[in-house]
Structure 1
C-alpha cells in the first residue's frame, strides 16, 4: 500500500498539485489545510489574517475528489468562515482535513474528532484555531492486509513550535483517538503537519504507544519547499509502528513543489 500525507496549503499552487495528485497511484491520501465549499463558489477565494494573505481553491476537497474517482472521500471540518472572491464578495468556506481511500479497500472503521477545540462555525477567529483529526482502518480483501492510518494538523502558535501545555494536551487527544481504532494489532501510520520541532516531548509520548518518527529515523532535515521562506524547516512528520520501520520505503521529495510543504510518501 502507498500512504501519502501533505499539507496542501489550500491548493495555492494548484497547477502543480493537480497533475501530481492525478499521477500518485495512492491507496490512502491524507491532506491538511483543505477547503470545502458549503455553498456555490468561484474557483478561487482569498484568505487574509494578520499573518497570511493566501489565494485558495474554494473547494479543494471537491477538486481532489474529482481527480481521484476511484477513491472514497472523507472531510473533517474544523472551522467555517467567510473568504473573499475577486470582487470583494464574502463567500462561506470550510477549512479542515481530507482523507481519500482507494475504493477497492474496505474501510472497516473510521473516526474523526478534534485534537484542539471543537468546530468553530462563526469565523476563523484568534489563534489557536480548532484542529481536527481523522483515523481509518482499512483492509485489502484480496490479500487480507490491514492498516490503520491517522492524520491531524497541529496547533499553530505565532510564537513558535516549542512544547506548550496546549501541545501536550493535543498529543494526548491524538493518542486517545488513534488508539480507539488501533490496538497494536495491525501496522499503523500516523502523519500530518504536527507544527512541532523534532525534539518535542510529543515524540516520546508517541513512542510509548509504539509509533516511531520516520523523519528522525531517516535523518530528514527539511520538510519544506523553497516556497516557504522562513529558516525553521520542520513541520511535517510520519510515525509508524515497529513492523513498518524496516519493511517500508519512505520519501520526502523536494520536487515537484506542490505546496510550501513537502509530501511524505510511504510505500509498504
Structure 2
C-alpha cells in the first residue's frame, strides 16, 4: 500500500473551508503543514495578523481544526514564534509554526525538532528575517518492513527577496545537520516545505550532498503558488527525495486552491 504525503503552507487557515474539505477528502497518511496558528483555549473563529498597514485574517484554532478532521492521526506541533493576533483592538497571544500529522498505525520511531534560523523570540514574532524551525520524524512502515524519514521546514523570509544570503546558507547547513540527527542509514528520506527560495539556490547543492533531488523543478513544474498570490516569482515550495524513495505519484496540486500556496502530493510505494 502506498504512503500518501501532503506538504502545504496553510497560510494561517485564510482559505479555511476549502482547506479543511480538501484535507479531509485527501486523507493523507502524513501531513506537513507550515504557517499553522494556535491560540490556547480558542473555540474557533477569526483573528487578524497586523504588520504596519498589512492585515491578514488568521484562523484562531487552525491546529485544532485540522486535528479534528484527521481524527485517526497523531498531531505534532512545533511553534516557531509566539506573538499577538487581534480581535478588534484586543491583543491575543498566538503561537505560529509547523504541524505534522501522522496516521495512527505508522509508529513514529524517531523525532527531531529545532531552529534552523534564529531562536524562539522572547517578545512578539521577532524582527525580519524571523526565526524559522524544522521538524523531522522517522516512521516505520509495517507493510514494507522499512523506515522512512520525513523532514519539513519553513524557510526564512527576507524582505529583500528570495536570493541567497549568508543567513540562508547557514539555514541550509542547519537543516542538513538536523536531518542527520534523525535519519538512519538505509532510510528513504523526504524533505519538504515552503523554502522561500529560488530554484538555483545553493541550498539545493547542500542538500544534494545528502542524496536529495527536488521533484518540483526536475519534473517540470514552474508554479507552486495559487491565484491568491498575485506577485511574480512563482516558486516557493519544494519536495526532495533520496533514491531509496520509490515514487508512485508526485503532483503540485493546482485545484482546489486552499491557500496562497499549492499543496505538494507524494505517494511512495
For the aligned pair, the TM-score class normalised by the smaller chain equals over 0.9
Among residues 60, 64, 67, which one is paired with 2:66 in the alignment? 64
Task: Show the counterpart of 2:21.
Answer: 19
Confirm or deny: 8 A CA contact 2:107 2:140 kept in the other structure: yes
Q: Secondary structure at the match of 1:252?
A: strand
Single out whichever of 153-162 and 141-150 deviates more from structure 2. Answer: 141-150
Deviation at 1:233, TM superposition (A): 0.2
Task: Show the counterpart of 2:251.
Answer: 251
Separation in structure 1 between the aligned mates of residue 145 and residue 51 of structure 2, nearest angstrom: 47
Confirm or deny: 8 A CA contact 1:73 1:99 kept in the other structure: yes
Confirm or deny: 8 A CA contact 1:41 1:91 kept in the other structure: no
Task: Show the counterpart of 1:153.
Answer: 154
Separation in structure 1 between the aligned mates of residue 112 and residue 244 of structure 2, nearest angstrom: 23
Q: For the aligned residues, what is the CA RMSD?
A: 1.3
Q: Any idea what the Cα deviations from partners look like across 1:13-40, whole Å, max 9, x if unmatched? A: 0011010011112111000000111244
- Whether 1:264 aligns to 2:264 is yes
Task: Show the counterpart of 1:78.
Answer: 80
Pick closer, same or farther for the CA change 1:103–1:240 going to 2, 3 Å: same
Confirm or deny: 8 A CA contact 1:6 1:32 kept in the other structure: yes
Task: Show the counterpart of 2:8.
Answer: 6
Q: TM-score, normalised by structure 1?
A: 0.96
Q: Secondary structure at the match of 2:162?
A: coil
Confirm or deny: 8 A CA contact 1:81 1:121 kept in the other structure: no
Q: Any idea what the Cα deviations from partners look like across 1:66-87, whole Å, max 9, x if unmatched? A: 11010000000111111101x3
For structure 2, list consecutive stretches of 5 or more residues without a partner in the other structure. none
Task: Show the counterpart of 2:164.
Answer: 163
Q: Give the structure with the higher percent strand.
A: 2
Q: What stretches of structure 1 move > 4 A for 4+ residues in a row?
A: none
Separation in structure 1 between the aligned mates of residue 188 and residue 78 of structure 2, nearest angstrom: 24
Task: Show the counterpart of 1:30.
Answer: 32
- For 1:177-216, list aligned pairs within 5 A: 177-216=178-217
Confirm or deny: 8 A CA contact 2:32 2:101 kept in the other structure: yes
Confirm or deny: 8 A CA contact 1:253 1:263 kept in the other structure: yes
Separation in structure 1 between the aligned mates of residue 158 and residue 143 of structure 2, nearest angstrom: 44
Confirm or deny: 8 A CA contact 1:79 1:96 kept in the other structure: yes
Confirm or deny: 8 A CA contact 1:190 1:240 kept in the other structure: yes
- For 1:117-156, list aligned pairs within 5 A: 117-156=118-157
